[in-house]
Amino acid sequence: MRVLETDLPGVMIIEPDVHADSRGFFMESYNLREFSRHGLDDVYVQDNHSLSARGTLRGLHYQLPPGQAKLVRVAVGEVFDVAVDIRRGSPTYGRWAGVWLSAENKRQLYIPTGYAHGFCVTSDHAEFLYKVTGYYDPALERGIAWDDPDIGVTWPVSDPLLSPRDREHPRLRDAENNWSYPAT
């Protein structure tokens, strides 16, 4: 497997070894020993699986501390996946990194705690899988406006399909956020 750094500290692109032949392919999407060799030794406690239609944008979501680190990938379709540094005092606070994830490229993205996360579906539909290090806690769930001009994410859609909750998120500067740099 290859681990590639992004412009945001700790946010990593993982390219698994894919063994393909005329029958199809095989890959390890997760192997604790291999991930640990790259400093990614989180313990995952929950796996999530979502299905979304073209143009759906989910995010930008995060949980207050202790938060959730995420390992995300696409099993069907394609998405544009985004992480935003929300750690107050960080040299990259408010900056974002975007990565195309698809069933075809089999890339994964690792998003540590202290980052907001979102994705937009660019195929007819997408099945999105994510492992998380903390249990979902609705009391800690927060979000940032997908179109916050201070962040300036260049999404591949201008009029996405949004949940009612995602339509109401505040800008980063107004969001409840007690993450600080370095994240603890």
Pair 145, 110: CB distance under 8 Å: no
Taking only Cα atoms into account, the Rg of the chain, rounded to an integer number of angstroms, comes to: 16
Each residue's pLDDT tens digit, 160-183: 999 999 999 999 999 999 999 975
**Bridge partner residues of 72 (DSSP):** 109, 130
pLDDT score for 182: 79
Q: Which of 61, 62, 117, 169 is catalytic?
A: 61
Tell me whether residue 38 is one of the annotated catalytic residues: no
pTM value is 0.95
Give the mean pLDDT of 118-127.
98
- Cα angle 100-102-106, degrees, rounded to a multiple of 5: 105
Assign 184 a pLDDT band (cuts: 50, 70, 90). low
**Share in percent of the chain as helix, strand, coil (round to 5):** 5, 45, 50
Give the mean pLDDT of 88-103.
98
Q: Which of 62, 117, 130, 169 is catalytic?
A: 130
Tell me whether residue 61 is one of the annotated catalytic residues: yes
Mean pLDDT for all residues in the chain? 96
